[in-house]
Amino acid sequence: MLTPITINFILFAFGVIAGAYLPLALIYLVSFFRREHFAFILIWKAAVRLAVIILLFVLISGALGFGLERLAPKGVTDEGGTFLALGFLASFLVGIILFTIGLVRGRSRVVTGSGA
């Protein structure tokens, strides 16, 4: 039912979104640790957040796999897997670049603030 172009495009887009949001969610978790003092409640809160992140990712991946299995009778080919990996890597690299830009901006702001 679905053409290979559509399947590859869906997998590429999924790779891009996963590559952007998955590291972001993990960084968000780390920033949570930095803000508060270490305690059992903190571990519990972090565990809940981590569980929600993993659950959401597994659910979305499962829904994608189930949908493609039903809509694409021939299944996902190696080419599709390549597009998925390509999207993930590209998005992850762009994410690192954006994070570095933010980091530099934050540090320069601190330097400007302390210098004034």
Among 43, 71, 89, 93, binds other proteins (CB under 8 A): 71
Among 41, 43, 47, 52, binds other proteins (CB under 8 A): 52
CA angle, corner 62, sides to 57 and 64, nearest 5? Answer: 100
- Of 23, 18, 25, 31, which is closest to residue 49 (Cα–Cα)? 25
Helical spans, DSSP H, in the chain = 4-35, 40-71, 78-115
Question: Shortest gap between Cβ of 104 and other proteins (angstroms)?
Answer: 7
Cα separation, 19 vs 92, in Å, equals 5
Is 34 near other proteins (CB under 8 A)? yes
Per CB under 8 A, residues contacting other proteins are 1-3, 5-6, 9-10, 13, 16-17, 20-21, 24, 27-28, 31, 34, 48, 52, 56, 59, 63, 67, 71, 94-95, 98-111, 114
